[in-house]
A and B are shown apart, each in its own frame.
Chain A
Amino acid sequence: MIDAVVQHLPAWQVVLPLLGAPICILLRRPAWAWAWTVLVTWATAACAAVLLRTTLDGGPWIYEMGGWPSPIGIVYRVDPLAAFVLLIVSGVGAVVSLYARRSLTAELQTTRHDLYYAAYLLCLAGLLGMTITGDAFNVFVFLEISSLASYVLVGLGPDRRALTAAYRYLIAGALGGTFILIGIGLAYQMTGTLNMDDLAQRLPPVSHSRTVLVSFAFITVGASLKLALWPLHHWLPNAYTYAPSVTSAFISATSTKVMVYVLARFAFGIYGEPFAFEELGLGRPLLVLALSGIYVASAVAIFQTDVKRLLAYSSVAQIGYMILGISLATPAGVAAGVLHLFNHAVTKGGMFLAVGAMAYRTGSTRLEDLRGVGRVMPVSTLAFVLGGFGLIGVPLTAGFVTKWALLEALWAEGLWPVAIAVLLSSLLAVVYVGKVVETAWFHEPSEALRARAEAPVDLLLPAWILVGLSLIFGVWGAWTTGVAREAALRLLGGA
């Protein structure tokens, strides 16, 4: 019995949430559907943890779906990088699911809760599938599963603007997905295979054809649109702002991260570093876009009057750091980018949960309504502030570990002006985090706010788990750094 589970672990990873989703609808009652969601997400996270342990010890795990060997069947391919991203996504999914029950009661009619949980699990299944699969077309299919589910998750927000945000997200997402589909099609046309390992072998000999060039261009632009690389980020701020708190935390911590992974997988694992970076010189444009994104989005974040929107723009900036690391195409740079996937996921996820806790009591995420909230709700505000330190990159937070790794990688490449620019960009984060801290703590709370109590424990606990993780891995960053380095080495080694 145990054997059957362990032997088919890569399949369970995706099948659990995928089949768990319709069961939510059958359970109907909010409490039951929620309990089931928690059960499924934690089981999924456990799968990912075991997979990561297994792959760190050995080579990549090629799992043949249904026992069909690779040219005919679809394979799942778990290497340390994939397993690491799987753990991030399913781990955040598990922690956020604890939060969902109470947060949703304030934001969504109870008759729709089961549908929400179903969409939540489908989104999780799609994200995990995209990460684990070793088949290029399968990436597209899972991409659309997760995207369609996340449009629903966003559209169920309490504000009517959630609908328009979801619509714009849908248009941008469908466009990005279609671009990726075109790219995969052109690559298939040149190689006759969709298996990632086979593609990686057959693409270099034909890489001088225009078809391969165009296919890579479509995939890069499509993935950049979906991961909200500046200036293709316009769908993101509204989607994060008006979505339910649970969605904001879950999507911000997972969906863009998986797309960064997909971009890295295609650029390094399939088209190969020599083609994408040495021949085409993808590194420099990515570096410029990432750096501009960091500065422009951070600057825009400073002027926001809504905390969730502020965090959304900060996310665009933080994605810049990930892409900056990847654009170096060195093991150290990619490792820094991968490391930031984890560090930013726990930090930003925790912050969105903390803001959700404030919104649960105050009914608003606008700065003017949160004046003095720090005195009324000190525990949730402290979680937000500690997360904010992570965004700035204060020592002893996970954000610092990434910044350090990124600076080292930039320095090793002799890109010291960029390294200085990265350091200075932290000042912008100081301003926008500081603005929230100032509003929350250095103002007298209004009469209405004074009547509120601290958020309930079931909201505080998940927020503190994620923020706590960002602190734990800030102090004890050796493990995450080691895994990220191993993952980057194997990715660049073409293994």
Chain B
Amino acid sequence: MDVVAHWNHWVVVVLMMTGFYVIMARSNLVKKILGLNVLQAAVILMYVTMGKVEGGTAAIYLEDPHAAHHGEAEHGDGHEDDEHHDDGGHHDAPQAHATRPVTYSNPVPHVLMLTAIVVGVATTALGLALVVRIHEAFGTIEEDDLLDLEEGGG
């Protein structure tokens, strides 16, 4: 197990466990949300790491304009396909071109993480909004105090 080669994964694991620990061990509700954010950041890093291909560049189409144009034509065909709902054949024509001289990193994990970031933001916003409401209703955001207050009845 080469520590240096898996550098990113070590960071991921440390961040993940830090976040997890903060969620579990902290009593302050805001800090728990922060822990959740650290955990989510670790996951984002994990996904982005797996998308990287050795020697690969960003997934920006680098071929000559002619080929790109051709690709667009294929794209148009694809749309017609929708209406007929024809399941036979037609597998992503642009990829069937001659081998590319450029190596690309896999863009899919990045795209997935865009979604995960949005989800993370929404969760954080909702969580913080709840903390504000909890503070208004109970006057504290410390879990231990909240438990005492809750046992005393609504």
Contact = CB atoms under 8 A, between A and B. Distances in A.
A69 B90 contact: yes
A188 B48 CA distance: 12
The 3 closest A-B pairs by CB, nearest first: A67-B82, A160-B137, A144-B119
B47 interface: yes
B73 interface: no
Interface in A135-189: 137, 140-141, 144, 148, 151-152, 155, 159-161, 163-164, 166-167, 170-171, 174-175, 177-178, 181-182, 185, 188-189
13 contacts: A67-B81, A67-B82, A72-B92, A141-B115, A144-B123, A155-B133, A164-B146, A167-B131, A174-B36, A174-B123, A188-B50, A188-B108, A192-B106
Nearest to A73: B92
Contacts of A69: 87, 90-92
Interface string B122-152: 1100110011011001100000001000100
A7 interface: yes
Interface string A28-65: 00000000000000000000000000000000000000
Contact of A164 (B87, B109, B126, B134): B134
Contacts of B50: 185, 188-189
Interface in B7-60: 16, 20, 23, 29, 32, 36, 39-40, 43, 46-47, 50
B154 interface: yes
B85 A170 contact: no
A71 interface: yes
Contacts of A205: none
B77 to A, nearest CB: 11
Given A167-B131, A185-B109, 7 more contacts: A66-B82, A68-B78, A140-B119, A141-B119, A151-B126, A167-B127, A177-B119
Nearest to B150: A161
A155 B130 contact: yes
Given A71-B92, A171-B23, A163 B85 contact: no
A171 B92 CA distance: 41
Nearest to B35: A171
Interface in B69-98: 78-79, 81-82, 85, 87, 90-92
B62 interface: no
Contacts of B106: 192
A163 B126 contact: no
A181 B126 CA distance: 19
A196 to B, nearest CB: 16
Interface residues on A, range: 35 or more
Contacts, number: 91
A198 to B, nearest CB: 13
Interface string B92-124: 100000000000001011001001100100110
Interface of B: 16, 20, 23, 29, 32, 36, 39-40, 43, 46-47, 50, 78-79, 81-82, 85, 87, 90-92, 106, 108-109, 112, 115-116, 119, 122-123, 126-127, 130-131, 133-134, 137-138, 146, 150, 154
A386 to B, nearest CB: 30
Contacts of A164: 134, 138, 146, 150
Contacts of A166: 130
B36 A171 contact: yes
A163 B130 contact: yes
Nearest to B81: A67
B46 A7 contact: no
A163 B43 contact: no
Nearest to B133: A163
Interface in A111-150: 137, 140-141, 144, 148
Contact of B43 (A152, A167, A181): A181
Contacts of A170: 123, 126-127, 130
A257 B38 CA distance: 30
Contacts of B81: 67
B38 to A, nearest CB: 11
A192 B43 CA distance: 17
A174 B137 CA distance: 23
B46 A182 contact: yes
B20 to A, nearest CB: 8
Interface in A11-40: none
Nearest to B116: A181
Contacts of A181: 43, 116
B85 A175 contact: no
B85 A167 contact: no
Contacts of A144: 119, 122-123
Nearest to B125: A148
Contact of B32 (A141, A155, A163, A171): A171
A72 B137 CA distance: 49
A178 B113 CA distance: 12
Most central of A71, A185, A192 by chain B CB within 10 Å: A185
A66 B123 CA distance: 28
A177 B16 CA distance: 14
B80 to A, nearest CB: 10
A170 B23 CA distance: 12
B92 to A, nearest CB: 6
Nearest to A68: B78
Contacts of B78: 67-68
A188 B23 contact: no
A138 to B, nearest CB: 10
Interface in A205-223: none
